[in-house]
Structure 1
Amino acid sequence: MALKQRTASPSVAPPATAPAPQPLYSTSSQYRNWRYSKQGLAKIRKDLNEQAVERVRGMVEQERVQQHSAPVASTSTPSASGSEPPSQPTTPPPPSEIQYLTVEDELSLVTYYLTQISLLCGAFKFGEMVQATAMTYLKRFYLRNTCMDYHPKNVMLTCVFLATKTENHPISIDSFSSKTRTTPDDILSLEFLVSQSLRFEYKVHHAHLAASGLLLDMQTTETPLETLETVYTSAKQHLRTSRLTDLELIYTPSQIALATFRLTDPSIVDRWLGIKATRQAAHNAEQRLSAQTEEELEKDKVVDLLVEIGEVIMMAKENPVDKAKVTEVDKRLRWARNPEKDPKSALYKKRKAEEEAEREAKSRAKAAARPANDDESVFD
């Protein structure tokens, strides 16, 4: 008996087309959690600063009261680390005369320590990845914290050490701390706090890696390789400047990388964009716009974006960190930092004494509740 040929039922839908692969960056936590609009970034910093001023003002008043109260009993509190900024003077000005840091003050202080990361990594001969990652960590940390609570010098060192582990450039904590004139505890005591502020998201997608890919792809422009390599070398210098700005918090790595190429040689980038736009227009030929109009609109939009990024980089290059301003801000920070975070303050010692007393009380209560001859209690 002949078998009848089976035909597909018209009600059965054809298999779905596999979704186009997504770029690695667009699926990363960096894309989801660490990109902001300019307005959003400004609001985060403004809110953090205002909350910190209010909180620190209250802590300063509590510190004054504590200093005039009975002496705190001696406790085993951590010593002030070498990376801690100087303790507040014993005779601070009245609270009404303290000049708390503004958002601009905090940004100038953080930017200065970004430059110090570059110098520190150079002294240790750490690679580009360690330097870039540490700088990103520092910027992200101060989207969750303020300089009035944690001095950037302390955090900077921890960010660099953490970046050496993230980027597989191991160095012992003893070696790192000895060369930075600190102690291992100075570095490690902040490591969990930094990690927590980073949301434990250590991977960073950097613009200089995107630039490497662009160098390869731009060979389609038939530009001589020697010319491309010269442009790439200059672009890398612009990329290092870009790390002192907010660009990586607003734009994608590929946008920043392409902008640095355009700062060096606009003609190469324009030619490359033309090729990319033509390819894209070919795929969209059935859409309402003509291929030529589509190409022109897309290219103009990208160029405007690249110009905007390039202006930020050039502004940073032409206006380096003002060391005098940073020094003045740091002096004011001695009076305006949170005494609750200062191991030498009376408030810090009082809080530590209270915590230690609470731990001892819990330990005594737990010991009293144990049955006699309870062998398992050794594992409590």
Structure 2
Amino acid sequence: MPAIPRFLFSGSSDNSSSHVERFVKNQNIFIRILLLISSRFKMFPLSTQKKYWLYNDENDIAILRKEANAEFIAKHGADMPEDKREKHFLSVSEERVLQRFYESQLKEFCKRFSPPMPKPTIATALHYFKRFYLRNSVMDYHPKEILVTCVYLACKVEEFNVSIIQFVANIMGDREKASDIILNNELLLMQQLNYNLTVHNPFRPVEGLLIDIKTRFPCPSNPEKLRPYIDEFLEKVFLTDSVLLYAPSQIALAAMLHAASSTNVNLDSYVTDILFSGEHLVAIIEAVRKIRSIAKCVELPPRDLVKTLEKKLDKCRNQDNNPDSEVYKQRMQEMFDEEDLIDDEKYAKIVQNQADHDEKVLGVTKVSPGTT
């Protein structure tokens, strides 16, 4: 963006220039900035996020999770009596406990990451994690393995450039194993996301709202004081299903109004008189109310319950996708052996093609060792 001349934001020395003219100039500049900031957001109505990953209500999301759970149990518990199934496998609600726990673990991993990870990267990783488990069971793919894969993919998509070596340096334990898990799961994750990797987060709309408030609304005198409360609210929202239910602009507005409420700033007239017309106001207010209500309900599951469910998960998870299982190791070895065989065949073909070429061009026939 070209630099904005400083005189456009300061008092003019030309006495003939009216206050109105200066105000119009300043306002036009701010509007241009607002449009630039929100340019990516304006694409949201046409995005894959809106088309494929925004649901009508919480019931739609619950149905998808229930289907993923039922599909896994039907596949892996077909020979079990009904009563044994219920004890052996995780229920939908138990899966949700683990999902919520690992969402919080994902957030904490990102906050401790070195070098410091930008907020949009963290938010995108959480989006990926939520989307993945709409149609997959935690019993099929362990959350701790999908978690790091989501973060690694988000780093690429959001252009937070870290190598796989830098990335796994942030992981405790066997880093070579972690690297293998991430790289083996990366394509799977992209497939399950239907390659819809662009995520529209509420950060740009928040910046647009702050600029708009500074430009068109005289109170508060310092809108920047709202920012810490906005960030705090968004951190909570990313741990809820609101990101699968509401547009980034609605989430941004909910964050702004939460921050205003927390600092005793009244933005009611800004919303009702400046930001929205009457025909859209009721729906917007209801969406904001629901987002704020959902954010209030964010609670981490008890650690004792998580430990109990993780033990249950270890017994019922799909061993084909467990890097520590013999089944998984054997399958991976077979894949490597198959790749080696293909490489050997390719090499033999290259040698044969070269021999055929030499014979044709030079009239030389290569004799294999041991032949006369």
TM-score (normalizing by structure 2): 0.72
Q: Distance in 2 between the 1:50 and 1:376 partners?
A: 58
1:24 aligned onto 2:69: no
Q: Distance in 2 between the 1:150 and 1:218 partners?
A: 45
Conservation of the 8 A alpha-carbon contact between 1:137 and 1:198: yes
Conservation of the 8 A alpha-carbon contact between 2:101 and 2:300: no
1:79-113 CA-partner distances (Å, limit 9, x unpaired)? xxxxxxxxxxxxxxx96584311222222212212
- Code of the residue aligned with 1:170 in structure 2: it is N
1:43 match = 63
Pick closer, same or farther for the CA change 1:352–1:179 going to 2, 3 Å. closer
1:150 match = 141
1:116 match = 105
Deviation, 1:179, is 2.9
Structure 2 residues not aligned, in runs of 5+: 1-38, 358-372
1:319-342 CA-partner distances (Å, limit 9, x unpaired)? 333222222211110111012223
Q: Distance in 1 between the 2:70 and 2:121 partners?
A: 33
2:151 match = 160
1:56 aligned onto 2:81: no
1:267-299 CA-partner distances (Å, limit 9, x unpaired)? 633212222367x4xxxxxxxxxxxxxx2x543
Conservation of the 8 A alpha-carbon contact between 1:210 and 1:254: yes
Conservation of the 8 A alpha-carbon contact between 2:101 and 2:301: yes
Q: Distance in 2 between the 1:377 and 1:268 partners?
A: 84
Pick closer, same or farther for the CA change 1:173–1:346 going to 2, 3 Å. closer
2:242 match = 247
Tell me how large the CA RMSD over aligned residues is: 3.3
Q: Distance in 2 between the 1:339 and 1:277 partners?
A: 54
Structure 1 residues not aligned, in runs of 5+: 1-20, 62-93, 281-294
Instruction: Spell out the pairing of 1:356-367 with structure 2 (5 A cutoff).
Output: none
2:199 match = 204
Match of 1:140 among 107, 122, 131: 131
Pick closer, same or farther for the CA change 1:253–1:230 going to 2, 3 Å. same
2:185 match = 190
Conservation of the 8 A alpha-carbon contact between 1:238 and 1:260: yes
Conservation of the 8 A alpha-carbon contact between 2:230 and 2:256: yes
- Code of the residue aligned with 2:150 in structure 1: it is C
- Code of the residue aligned with 2:281 in structure 1: it is K
Pick closer, same or farther for the CA change 1:254–1:325 going to 2, 3 Å. same
Conservation of the 8 A alpha-carbon contact between 2:153 and 2:186: yes
- Is the deviation greater in 24-33 or in 96-105? 96-105
Structure with the larger helix share: 2
Conservation of the 8 A alpha-carbon contact between 2:67 and 2:135: no
1:138-183 CA-partner distances (Å, limit 9, x unpaired)? 1111123211011110111111111111122111211221331322
- Code of the residue aligned with 2:104 in structure 1: it is T
Conservation of the 8 A alpha-carbon contact between 2:129 and 2:147: yes
Instruction: Describe the SS at the equivalent of 1:116.
Output: helix
- Code of the residue aligned with 2:60 in structure 1: it is G
Pick closer, same or farther for the CA change 1:170–1:354 going to 2, 3 Å. closer
Conservation of the 8 A alpha-carbon contact between 2:203 and 2:252: yes
Q: Distance in 1 between the 2:323 and 2:84 partners?
A: 20
Tell me: higher relative CO, structure 1 or 2? Use CA pairs within 8 A at least 6 residues apart: 1
Q: Distance in 2 between the 1:185 and 1:172 partners?
A: 14
- Code of the residue aligned with 2:235 in structure 1: it is R
Pick closer, same or farther for the CA change 1:54–1:350 going to 2, 3 Å. farther
- Code of the residue aligned with 1:339 in structure 2: it is Q
- Code of the residue aligned with 2:145 in structure 1: it is N
Q: May I ask how many residue pairs the two structures share in their alignment?
A: 304
1:269 match = 267
1:131 match = 122
Instruction: Describe the SS at the equivalent of 1:211.
Output: helix
TM-score (normalizing by structure 1): 0.70
Instruction: Spell out the pairing of 1:81-96 with structure 2 (5 A cutoff).
Output: none
Deviation, 1:359, is 8.0
Q: Tell me the percent identity.
A: 28
Conservation of the 8 A alpha-carbon contact between 1:221 and 1:271: no
Instruction: Describe the SS at the equivalent of 2:160.
Output: coil
1:313 match = 295
Deviation, 1:130, is 1.5
Q: Distance in 1 between the 2:295 and 2:270 partners?
A: 21
